[in-house]
Structure 1
Amino acid sequence: MPGTGWQSSVRRSLVLTEFPVPEWLPVSLRDRFPSTRLKLSCSPTAIHPWLKLGNGTEVFIKRDDQTGSSLSGNKVRKLEFIMADVLKRGCDAVITCGSLQSNHCRAVAAIAAQLGIECHLLLRTDSATCDSKPSGNYLLSGLTGAHLYLVGLREQYATSLLPRSQKLAEILRRDRGRKAYIIPVGGSDAVGVFGYFSAFDEILKDCPASVKNIFVACGSGGTVAGLAIANHLSGNKFRIYGIPVCDSGAYFYDHIQKMVNDLGLAGVKAEEICQMIDGYKGAGYGISTEQERDFIRRITAETGIFLDPVYSGKAARGMMEELDGGSKIYKGDSLFIHTGGIFGIFGEPGFVSSTLNNDIRHGTTSSWMDATQEPFMRP
């Protein structure tokens, strides 16, 4: 077969690089801060104006949806440190888990393929078969050659997915001689959290002085944890708000507190370094409502920035409802962290069909097969 006489050389370009310790990091934590990372992201990412509110305040946006292409979004920042740890420990396989349309799992699969490391993904779904047509992140994860395992939709990490991952790691050791590294859901642990220490350092350098509030979606908790802990350690310049798209604020406070404790930050309480804003996960994780879809369509049409229906769409809508509500607690301008997830649009059947029907209903799409006629244009 032609075109098969080649081997990937991408691995040679992925090397551990020195990572400078942020100036604001306390001396007591410097020995915990990773000295190296695997440079994967196109960072620093831009911060620019996005939306103007009726009260004159402004919302800026940090474009972490532009950290790369196949590795786009917030997950790659965490994986720069996690995959560096994988290499330093001499592991030749990785195991992680997430939803069927997991951005995290897709990013892990792509990086593992680049590194020549075996990848195993436990994907939560309500289907016990592999008959569903692959789309979005599910399709992309499969293209990398990763091993995909479908598990129950409601399986929890600590009680089910972690034990399964540990069992799989033992099987890989026993049957294949592999040394597997288990990455927690979303890459949200005391290693991955440093990815958003790095992002926060960019914010300190690039963010307009008028910005006082930072909003971000909460799916696994690692991003908001990194921002909140870094903000606390650097002197609390901002107010950090997390908007859960699954679980609850209480769940994320517990998760952030665990990372705070793992870092040895005595006396620091999660509730004191960030605020969770419940009430905006809609119909549930990965399920969008028509109101959420309308919001995404409007934002895209008016600003040219795509939001996904799982994370950034819900979080941005929640942020705007909070800011538009006239609450006096949100003083100053705000920064929205765009965490990416664009591929999720193609994996949400409800969003795709709703958008197509909306196009037809409002005349966005029309037929112009006869060149002798004038096309129909909406008002």
Structure 2
Amino acid sequence: MSDATHTDERVREMSKLRKALIRPELGGIVGATAVFTFFLLFAGNSGMFNAQGVMNWTTVSAQFMIIAVGACLLMIAGEFDLSVGSMIGFAGMMIAVFGVTLGWPMWIAIIITFVICVGFGALNGYIVVRTGLPSFIVTLATLFILRGFTIFIPQTLERKTIIGGIREAAEGDFLAPLFGAKVGGPVFQWLGDIGVIDVFTRGNRAGEPVVDGIPMLIIWAIVLVVVGHILLNRTRFGNWIFAAGGDAQAARYAGVPVERVKILMFMFTAFCATIFAVCQVMEFGSAGADRGLLKEFEAIIAVVIGGALLTGGYGSVIGAALGALIFGVVQQGLFFANVESSLFRVFLGVILLLAVILNTYIRRLITGER
């Protein structure tokens, strides 16, 4: 009787361990812990973790995070979107064309750009669900189409592939600050006055804090992560997303509108890419045809690091956010640690391989495969 009791306890312990191992956030948590530990040891005294350093890598992480949220939900639904990077460049260029070249009010340029880009997302989804073609192929075609338009349109209208003047065109606009402003300025000024963060000591900005606010890019990233997490884990639609990516046919038998779910996820991915683009052009004050290059792969890698399975039906928005955080910390941390920045790409390849191996092991734990 005693042996049976001990066996049951071991089974329960293994069950708890198994539950912990199959959490999609596990890879992101382990990776983030390792990355922060590494840079605390090797770059802790370089300014990486002062106010300005934290703001630098947080801003970069937020860029990855915004597109990773859309990519995560789409991958859980069982699809990919390789046009994200080109969508970023295209959206930024459309804002420049509408707002600068054509002289439209910036709020109209932003809204029309969102409508066009989300429309492309809907078209991607519609083609995928109606033809049965792999989303990899469909969105690869869209990648080239959008990149071609991004180069052709400004060359035709302006005879160049970079259009500036966006910041000037956005002055006084009521919608532009939602993407290009900073929040919390008085708080950071107070922190500077009491000596919590550094302030400038020379020039016209003497007495001002080195960090004068939180960019809207970071606010958007936080909002999208929170909304995506709640949508995925607290709503019926979230269950539909998991079902559509796990077993689409069984989901249809259960009454899940699989086609509609997939199309909406393609639209949401395009929406996230457009948010990234608008924040980017407001920050730089210009749009370039080469913007967003390779961002689609970086988004997918962040999602995979965050624990999503490439086969769909499993993943976590929080995990994807952690994957994006790892990207931002490493990209900036290499500079602070005086490591050659080109090694960032090496890191991406290594971390992707390790994440896929871990996710494959997790999938076998879930399915019982050997």
Larger relative contact order, structure 1 or 2 (CA cutoff 8 Å, min sep 6): 2
Greater per-residue strand proportion: 1
Greater per-residue helix proportion: 2
Question: Do both proteins adopt the same fold according to a TM-score greater than 0.5, normalized to the shorter chain?
Answer: no
| Bigger Cα Rg | 2
User: TM-score normalized by structure 1?
Assistant: 0.27
User: TM-score normalized by structure 2?
Assistant: 0.27
